[in-house]
Structure 1
Amino acid sequence: MNTPANAKDPLHGMTLEAIVTALVEYFGWAELGQRIEIKCFRIDPSVSSSLKFLRKTPWARAKVESLYLFMRREQARNAKPAH
């Protein structure tokens, strides 16, 4: 059932794996490691090692989710035709 809160939440239905994968595709590991300074993004990065860390570390997960929302806003802004 889709409640009004779920309908407005852009993270609703998104898995952490899908979020990390989208960020890596958009920014790449190097820039991701600069934007969020955690070892799993900077030293031998992989989606699986990142997921292990992020699932145990709420503050890091919050930063990743926040960056994902920023990325989505950037993509939406860039998709709009210029007037």
Structure 2
Amino acid sequence: MALQMIAPFLSSFLPNPRHGLAAHGLTHQKYVSKHISCSTTTPTYSTTAPRRSGNYKPSIWDNDFVQSLGSGYKVEAHGTHVEKLKEVV
């Protein structure tokens, strides 16, 4: 891609091979050496992320209400384990 960008620039310094040197009235041509350097910069990224949790709105449910909710899965999974432990003791 960089070559595509500088190709028109370079072609202005080079003779066209389709035209003879005699057509330009030149029999001997001196080439001037020009130094071209290409460089790129690496993008810099910020290591600190913006604080996104500060934009959350408060919950519509109170903590006591959430704690009062029951779960059948919790009772089944842990209830049988509790009963087995009681039998062992």
**What is the TM-score of this pair, normalised by structure 1?**
0.22
Please say which structure displays the higher CA radius of gyration.
2
**What is the TM-score of this pair, normalised by structure 2?**
0.21
